Structure 1
Amino acid sequence: MTTSEEDLLPGTRRALLHRIAVAQAEGRAPSLVATVVRDGRAVWHGARTSVDGHGPDERVQYRIGSITKTFTAVLVLRLRDEGLLDLGDPLEKHLPGTGVGEATIAELLAHSSGLAAESPGPWWERTPGSLRPELADVLGKRPFLHPVGRRFHYSNPGYTLLGALVEKVRGASWEEVLQREVLEPLELRRTSVRPQAPAAGGWAVHPWADALLPEPTEDLGRMAAAGQLWSTTADLARFAVFLMQGDDRVLSAETVREMRAPAAPGEAADVADGVSYGLGLQIQHRDGRLLVGHSGSLPGFLASLTIAAADDVAAVVLTNCTSGPVVSAVGADLVRIVAEAEPRIPEPWRPLREVEPTTLELAGQWYWGTYAFGLRVTADGLISLEPLSGNGRRSRFRANDDGTWTGLEGYYAGELLQAVRRVDGSVSHLDLGSFVFTRQPYDEGASVPGGVDPDGWRGVG
């Protein structure tokens, strides 16, 4: 994935370079690389390094830590989309004998399974995976710390279980399945389980001195599905495009949208900070912008993948130090810089190719009680229902084959909207999940629950 000097304005490029330069200098990172994605491709790459003349390019591998979890989630959702499992299935149904099989697949994906954050024993990120050869060694004697499904609690062992689930259902190793089903179709040729030259070495930077200590690079064994991968800014840029648009060879656009939707109950502090978790993706509201993606860290490395789907901008930031730059904040800033300096130009308005009379008949003003709503028929084949004032419930709806419509978001997601017709075929009212919408407030000619006072509207006198 190559970039061009013409992809962004000079002022934007300088602002991006300034941001990563500050991050590398103040964070005392041996090196820091970043890429920005827009319009489905990389449009900027930058690098800062402590070694003159050795600026890493977009092909240099860094360890990406927990961004690996998003790849594992993609594999699990492929199994769901193929009908081989359901996200509501308990783990025991497909991977028996773990001792934690009551947790559902969705709960494991969203970190709401109640499992511990870490594996017991020596620090798993800095010791060989051979110390934890079996799932029982990863889980330990007290795997659950919280009630299943009640709260968000980040769990690395939870994603180890998901990796084992993939292996059980596919009958092949997690690494083989990942290579065949994700890396090859998306042409992520520089993403691998073990480092492939050129690859950055991982370093610890002394907190009180400008001195370095090399970090060990361990094979995580059973824990691989939670944090093993190495990748590049170019490959992660392609992966970001996939997470925004989908790719029918891997997952549909509808399924990647599902990944980006909140799926776990947040802690009070997380809710206050606008942070939640989807299916393998972290979600954050920052500076009025919805960001999804994932961060990653392993000894010697920090990584961040940040996506603002509404702005069609994403950023990848990789560095080779154990602590230093807050790469998730850097990624969010890179997205903000591009989105604000060069806002997305909307597609031209285009009319419908054809209009169904029975659909056009629904357009216009409707009332739920005394609340006024507008129903619009849009060129993408959907209808939208939204309040004419205030911040009430709103949603778009997709047509079904039987003349009904299904809500796509918000309060009405999954709810059924149907036009109720009179004997002569004209529309009496809309029924939306039992809510009645009429052409006039409390229309006496429609089937309003509770009826309408026969004396109608009146004054106070």
Structure 2
Amino acid sequence: MTTSQDELLPGTRRALLHRIAVAQAEGRAPSLAAAVVRGGRAVWHGARTSVEGHAPDADTQYRIGSITKTFTAVLVLRLRDEGLLDLGDPLEKHLPGTGAGEATIAQLLAHTGGLAAETPGPWWERTPGTLRPELADVLGEQPFRHPIGRRHHYSNPGYALLGALVEKLRGESWESVLRREVLEPLGLHRTSVRPEAPHAGGWAVHPWADVLMPEPVEDLGRMAPAGQLWSTTGDLARFAVFLAQGDDRVLGAESVREMRTPAAPAEAADVAAGSAYGLGLQVERRNGRLLVGHGGSLPGFVASLMLGVEDDVAAVVLANCTSGPAVSMVASDLVRIVAEAEPRIPEPWRPLRDVDPSVLDLAGPWYWGTYAFALRLTADGLVSLDPLAGSGRRSRFRPNGDGTWTGLEGYYAGEVLRVVRRPDGSVSHLDIGSFVFTRRPYDDEAAVPGGVDPEGWRGIG
């Protein structure tokens, strides 16, 4: 008997079920639903329930809280990709008069705009949005808590501003834009601003007694772009595929990769924990595994979506209780279980279809001073520069079409690699942001900054 590589092995499925069963029991959640994605599709759904009337499946809605922020960030990146704004623009340029317009759009996305974490007045997650009809009610008289751009400080009002920005530039409601530009193209038909049956009810579980109390369900009004959405494990599994691969109907792979890249300076505690924040996505390292995604909570609900990009595995966990199960830990454990039990099978090696001989001549060893590197041409059309020993600066470079390449990651991200040739056309050296890479250590035939000692290499007798 053989098992399709798209299916999970029975032992893996049981380990996943065991993990969510422990989370639901120990976290005392009325219900908990989860999904795992691998290879671009959902490969497992599971659920546990203990309350009559709460039998969740992949189609049952839960509130997803701040995972909503990732959807709002996608809308903002779409505006950027269309040329309607630049991430470096101050908010005031497009949405004047808020009192927080000095913060840039990128800073709002990454929570580095210095804004307060919460709105003034009563607890916004548990009171009607009609109490905050205007942005001034969301921000208050003193919207800032920190100097702009100096630190990461999670801000719910910041995403209310981003939702208002979307409305201003599109000329219609955030909800309408979200449905037309993201939900419908991605087939997220069970994701909505208001609950649609079947949906779970939200519960508070007493911390010292096994009793329940229903939580209120409020329309968040102006704060909706920060946490309003309801969704299902099925829809969020499809959204996880989008966050991994991109979709040109919504946002291309390069822009989605930009969302997953840390953009906020981390606090000391965050550095120790290996966590950071991108553009609408949390980024963290757990047990040596890089995970991106977002958590969410509103009274009565907790949620987590975690994506292990390198493992090609994602997990969604939703529960209907105000507190209890550590759903982000559960989601990361589901990714780990699949990644360790059934490691990703790499794509077959394939050679380049064709290659420019002048580029092929660049392959091989290069030296930055006395540091040895190797330049390789890869089948995806990129070149990579990697240290031959240790963990030095490494990067992949994409061609620019004019004989230069631009770095994609690490120290050389955004830096330009140029080939410098002699008058006879032969290669003298590579230049990367003024760093000279030569074919030999301190090659006296290349333009090494500072020159090369005329006596060359020598021993000491």
The amino acid of 2:215's aligned partner reads E
Query: What is aligned with 1:380?
Result: 380
8 A contact 2:6–2:39 mirrored in 1: no
The amino acid of 1:153's aligned partner reads H
Q: How does 1:8-87 map to 2 (within 5 A)?
A: 8-51=8-51, 55-87=55-87
- Report the TM-score, using the length of structure 2 for normalisation: 0.98
The amino acid of 1:304's aligned partner reads S
- Is 1:178 aligned to 2:169, yes or no? no
The amino acid of 2:351's aligned partner reads P
Query: What is aligned with 2:361?
Result: 361
Query: What is aligned with 1:255?
Result: 255
Instruction: Name the CA distance, whole Å, in 2 between partners of 1:133 and 1:211.
Output: 35
Instruction: Name the CA distance, whole Å, in 1 between partners of 2:156 and 2:54.
Output: 35
Query: What is aligned with 2:434?
Result: 434
Q: How does 1:188-203 map to 2 (within 5 A)?
A: 188-203=188-203
Q: How does 1:385-396 map to 2 (within 5 A)?
A: 385-396=385-396
- Report the TM-score, using the length of structure 1 for normalisation: 0.98
Query: What is aligned with 2:89?
Result: 89
Query: What is aligned with 1:216?
Result: 216
Query: What is aligned with 1:327?
Result: 327
8 A contact 2:54–2:200 mirrored in 1: no
Offset of residue 6 of structure 1 = 6.9
Instruction: Name the CA distance, whole Å, in 2 between partners of 1:52 and 1:201.
Output: 11
- Is 1:164 aligned to 2:164, yes or no? yes
Offset of residue 426 of structure 1 = 1.0
The amino acid of 2:267's aligned partner reads E
Instruction: Name the CA distance, whole Å, in 2 between partners of 1:377 and 1:77.
Output: 31
Offset of residue 198 of structure 1 = 0.2
Q: Secondary structure at the match of 1:130?
A: helix
Instruction: Name the CA distance, whole Å, in 2 between partners of 1:278 and 1:191.
Output: 23
Offset of residue 142 of structure 1 = 1.3
Q: Secondary structure at the match of 1:311?
A: coil
- Is 1:397 aligned to 2:397, yes or no? yes
Q: Can you give the 5+ residue segments of structure 2 that lack an aligned partner in the other structure?
A: none
Instruction: Name the CA distance, whole Å, in 2 between partners of 1:216 and 1:53.
Output: 18
Q: Secondary structure at the match of 1:418?
A: strand
The amino acid of 2:244's aligned partner reads M
Offset of residue 36 of structure 1 = 0.1
Query: What is aligned with 1:458?
Result: 458
The amino acid of 1:147's aligned partner reads P
Query: What is aligned with 1:136?
Result: 136
Q: Secondary structure at the match of 2:185?
A: coil
Instruction: Name the CA distance, whole Å, in 2 between partners of 1:432 and 1:6.
Output: 43
Query: Are the structure 2 counterparts of residues 204 and 410 from structure 1 closer, same or farther at C-alpha, using a change threshold of 3 Å?
Result: same
Q: Deviations over 1:318-354 (max 9, x none)?
A: 0000000000000000000000000000000011110
Query: What is aligned with 1:119?
Result: 119
Q: CA RMSD in A?
A: 1.1
Query: What is aligned with 1:278?
Result: 278
- Is 1:236 aligned to 2:236, yes or no? yes
The amino acid of 2:63's aligned partner reads R
Instruction: Name the CA distance, whole Å, in 1 between partners of 2:63 and 2:5.
Output: 28
Instruction: Name the CA distance, whole Å, in 2 between partners of 1:229 and 1:15.
Output: 30
Instruction: Name the CA distance, whole Å, in 1 between partners of 2:123 and 2:6.
Output: 46
Offset of residue 51 of structure 1 = 3.4
The amino acid of 1:343's aligned partner reads P
- Is 1:301 aligned to 2:306, yes or no? no
Q: Can you give the 5+ residue segments of structure 1 that lack an aligned partner in the other structure?
A: none
Instruction: Name the CA distance, whole Å, in 2 between partners of 1:5 and 1:300.
Output: 38
The amino acid of 1:230's aligned partner reads W
Q: Deviations over 1:245-291 (max 9, x none)?
A: 00000000000000000000111101110010000000110000000
The amino acid of 1:370's aligned partner reads T
Offset of residue 53 of structure 1 = 8.6
Offset of residue 160 of structure 1 = 0.2
Offset of residue 55 of structure 1 = 2.9
Query: What is aligned with 1:287?
Result: 287
The amino acid of 2:16's aligned partner reads L
Offset of residue 54 of structure 1 = 5.4
Offset of residue 5 of structure 1 = 11
Task: List structure 1 runs of 4+ shifted beyond 2 angstroms.
Answer: 51-55
Instruction: Name the CA distance, whole Å, in 2 between partners of 1:6 and 1:168.
Output: 44
